Amino acid sequence: MRAFVLPSFGATPELVTVADPDPGPGEVQIAVAACGLNHADLLMIDGKYQEKPQLPITLGMEVAGTVTRLGASVDSLKVGDRVAAFPGTGGLADLCCVPAARCVPLPGGMSDVDAAAFQIAYGTSHLALVHRAALQEGETLLVLGAAGGVGLTAVELGARLGARVIAAARGADKLEIARNAGAHEVLDSDAPDLKDRLKAMGGVNVVYDAVGDPQFSAALRACRPGARVLVIGFAAGAVPQIPANYLLVKNITVHGLYWGGYLGFAPEVLTRSLADLFALHEAGGLHPHVSHRLPLEQAADGLELLRTRRSTGKVVITP
């Protein structure tokens, strides 16, 4: 089969031919129809991801496709089932093997592309806004990086939860996409007076930050007393340093959110969250935004779109 392989950290991934993977006990083999790209793939290439797998690896964290083989002791799925799955690695290939426990049967009306764009982006925002920040109806939610893979889902879910959503993104085109996803107000993140503009809008109750500094620092200083700040990622490359005295004076809480980490310490929380999200999608309540769909041969181009922040929503590779 074909696989998009990273031979060593910092190297250029290559599309190569490798042996088909065999499912181990408790695993299934999936014929990959679509694989969603994530900023974490870039961190993994650079050796900066929080989990460092043994190399070489096939990249690709989330997939959708059809079960083609069952490993020993698998009775929850059958050959021919359409599923979404979170393998963590291995998705940018014709076939991948995944623990059956990480597979979610797909609703009949959900496309493979939508499913591959769904789990990490919507899962991250749902856990962040509902489980960690407890976003309430009528509160003001600021989403930084609002047109990105996770940011756009935060805008959509925040609006569904009844919050007043302020979306910050770069450029008029991205701001229009955020507005179409449900943002009530939009701000160009390149503006030098982001903090002052947010304060003039009344400040914020919840900050959803997938970008990092300098936007994080501006947003922190526009927080209302009792605000909650969600640290999702650092797409801009700069990890913010948080002044603890500011948190104390304004009673601000900062939450870190690593979606995949829940598999290790509270998988039932993640499972319940995904069940709620798939039900919302089936009812027509969620609309994944995919700006680029590319074949496996162009996986490198897809990653470059993420690295240069030229995509909106998700980039999906379709082997």
Same domain, 113 and 133: no
Q: In 90-193, where does DSSP find H-type helix?
A: 112-116, 119-126, 151-160, 172-180
- Whether 70 has a pLDDT exceeding 90, the answer reads yes
Same domain, 40 and 75: yes
Structural domain boundaries enclosing 213: 120-258
Query: Is 240 exposed, middle or buried (CB count within 10 Å of its CB: 0-12, 13-18, 19+)?
Result: buried
Q: What angle do CA 41, 45, 51 make, to 5 degrees?
A: 70
Check: CB of residue 1 under 8 Å from CB of residue 95.
yes
Mean pLDDT, the chain, integer: 95
Same domain, 44 and 85: yes
Amino acid at 201: M
Given pLDDT bands bounded at 50, 70 and 90, which one contains residue 108? Answer: confident
Same domain, 79 and 152: no
Evaluate whether residue 299 is within a structural domain.
yes
Evaluate whether residue 267 is within a structural domain.
no
Same domain, 173 and 57: no
Same domain, 225 and 292: no
Amino acid at 191: A
Classify the C-alpha dihedral 155-32-301-295 as positive or negative.
Answer: negative
Q: Looking at residues 42-65, what average pLDDT do you find? A: 94
Name 193's Cβ contacts closer than 8 Å, sequence gap at least 6: none
- Whether 21 has a pLDDT exceeding 90, the answer reads yes
Percentage of residues of the chain with pLDDT beyond 90: 92
Given pLDDT bands bounded at 50, 70 and 90, which one contains residue 50? Answer: confident
Evaluate whether residue 175 is within a structural domain.
yes
Same domain, 195 and 80: no
Higher-confidence position of 191 and 54: 54
131-143: pLDDT as tens digits: 999 999 999 999 9
Amino acid at 37: L
What local confidence, expressed as pLDDT, does residue 269 receive? 92
Same domain, 125 and 214: yes
Evaluate whether residue 73 is within a structural domain.
yes
pTM of the model: 0.93
- 66: domain CATH number is 3.90.180.10
Query: What are the backbone angles phi and psi of residue 313, rounded to the nearest 5°?
Result: 60, -130
- Whether 235 has a pLDDT exceeding 90, the answer reads no
Rounded Cα gap, residues 298 and 78, in angstroms: 31
Given pLDDT bands bounded at 50, 70 and 90, which one contains residue 271? Answer: confident
Same domain, 14 and 77: yes
Point out the domain boundary residue: 258, 273, 302: 258
Evaluate whether residue 230 is within a structural domain.
yes
Evaluate whether residue 275 is within a structural domain.
no
Evaluate whether residue 126 is within a structural domain.
yes
What local confidence, expressed as pLDDT, does residue 314 receive? 97
Total domains in the fold of the chain = 2
Rounded Cα gap, residues 10 and 81, in angstroms: 37
87-106: pLDDT as tens digits: 999 999 999 999 999 999 99
What local confidence, expressed as pLDDT, does residue 202 receive? 97
Check: CB of residue 261 under 8 Å from CB of residue 286.
no
What local confidence, expressed as pLDDT, does residue 192 receive? 85
What local confidence, expressed as pLDDT, does residue 198 receive? 97
Given pLDDT bands bounded at 50, 70 and 90, which one contains residue 275? Answer: confident
Given pLDDT bands bounded at 50, 70 and 90, which one contains residue 318? Answer: very high
- 230: domain CATH number is 3.40.50.720
Same domain, 75 and 163: no
Same domain, 96 and 22: yes
What local confidence, expressed as pLDDT, does residue 238 receive? 86
